[in-house]
């Protein structure tokens, strides 16, 4: 499993890095592609939601964030409500709790979260910041995996994710503090407390994002939300941590 996860991460890294180097518009284009794939996965997992309904709900916060930044993100989320009403009234078969949940998930969980990554890509330190956001969850996940394998004894949430351990969570937190903290201190001129805070935030929200998707899949009684990426499942299985860390990093930057 870890081998496939590593191969997939290495295959995706040049695409992400290339978009970051080119600039914000390339990042936004990549984000919209991801939103489209995520909309397809959720429309299949939460039938009878139409693909276009999910796509619009996820795209509104991203598109409106380009001219209006955080205000645009909030406006896009708010606009998803009349958008949902349009589909619920127009197509009787969509009048289910699952369809409504999918529209809200696409807007808040996917669209609004990824829009924050777009905002980060517009900063002067966009390359380092975006790489921290994208690779931070992978660093936390790797630290948690190896710490759990070596010293894992106490289940963290046995009824939700039986393979996660307290020792693994601590290992992921420490690994992220060391690596991300060092990068933030050296290349972003963060103070040592600020760098440590960035590492803690990324690891905490990365693990929280992974747990959130685990709960969602348990509710839906499915193993993965998709099959696009070997070793990960679907695109949402790959970016579940990123969806929590991108907003966290953006607001940590404002705080610092």
Q: Which CATH number covers residue 165?
A: 1.10.357
Do 8 and 31 fall into the same domain? no
Do 90 and 157 fall into the same domain? no
Candidates 52, 216, 256, 21; CA nearest to 134 is 21
Do 89 and 197 fall into the same domain? no
Structural domains of the chain, count: 2
Do 96 and 135 fall into the same domain? no
Do 30 and 111 fall into the same domain? yes
| Residue 10 half-sphere exposure toward CB, CA atoms < 13 A | 6
Do 49 and 65 fall into the same domain? yes
Q: How far apart (Å, rounded) are the C-alpha atoms in residues 40 and 55?
A: 8
What pLDDT sits at residue 95? 82
Q: Residue 247: pLDDT above 70?
A: yes
Domain end (from 92, 120, 148):
120
10 Å Cβ neighbour count for 128?
Answer: 16
Report whether 175 contacts 139 (CB < 8 A): yes
Do 19 and 135 fall into the same domain? yes
Non-local (6+) Cβ contacts of 163 within 8 A are: 148
pTM: 0.89
C-alpha distances out from residue 53 to 78, 84, 88, 208, 243, Å: 15, 7, 10, 27, 20
Across 112-116, average pLDDT: 96
Model confidence at 7, in pLDDT bands (50, 70, 90)? low
Q: How far apart (Å, rounded) are the C-alpha atoms in residues 58 and 39?
A: 7
Do 36 and 19 fall into the same domain? no
Do 190 and 210 fall into the same domain? yes
Do 178 and 63 fall into the same domain? no
Do 239 and 254 fall into the same domain? yes
Do 65 and 93 fall into the same domain? yes
Model confidence at 149, in pLDDT bands (50, 70, 90)? confident
Q: Residue 3: pLDDT above 80?
A: no
Q: Residues 202-237: pLDDT tens digits? A: 999 999 998 998 888 888 888 777 767 655 678 888
Q: For residue 7, give both structure tokens.
A: 């191969």
Domain end (from 100, 120, 140):
120
Per the prediction, the chain carries an average pLDDT of 86
- Domain of 244 in residue numbering reads as 1-23+125-256
Across 193-197, average pLDDT: 91
């Amino acid at each position: 499993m870890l081998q496939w996860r590593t191969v997939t991460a290495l295959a995706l890294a040049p695409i992400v890095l290339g978009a970051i180097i080119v600039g914000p518009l390339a990042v936004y284009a990549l984000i919209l592609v991801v939103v489209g794939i995520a909309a397809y996965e959720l429309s299949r997992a939460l039938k009878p939601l139409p693909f276009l309904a999910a796509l619009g709900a996820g795209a509104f916060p991203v598109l409106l964030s380009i001219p209006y930044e955080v205000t645009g993100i909030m406006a896009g989320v708010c606009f998803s409500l009349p958008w949902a009403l349009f589909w619920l009234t127009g197509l009787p078969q969509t009048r289910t709790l699952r369809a409504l949940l999918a529209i809200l998930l696409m807007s808040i969980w996917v669209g609004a979260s990824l829009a924050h990554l777009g905002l980060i890509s517009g900063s002067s330190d966009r390359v380092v910041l975006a790489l921290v956001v994208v690779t931070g969850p992978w660093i936390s996940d790797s630290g948690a995996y190896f710490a759990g394998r070596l010293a894992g004894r106490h289940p963290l949430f046995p009824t939700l994710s039986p393979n996660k351990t307290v020792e693994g969570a601590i290992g992921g937190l420490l690994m992220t503090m060391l690596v991300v903290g060092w990068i933030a201190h050296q290349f972003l001129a963060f103070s040592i407390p600020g760098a440590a805070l960035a590492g803690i935030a990324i690891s905490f929200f990365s693990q929280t994002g992974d747990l959130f998707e685990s709960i969602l899949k348990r509710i839906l009684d499915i193993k993965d939300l998709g099959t696009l990426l070997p070793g990960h499942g679907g695109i949402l299985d790959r970016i579940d941590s990123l969806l929590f860390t991108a907003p966290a990093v953006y607001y940590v930057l404002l705080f610092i």
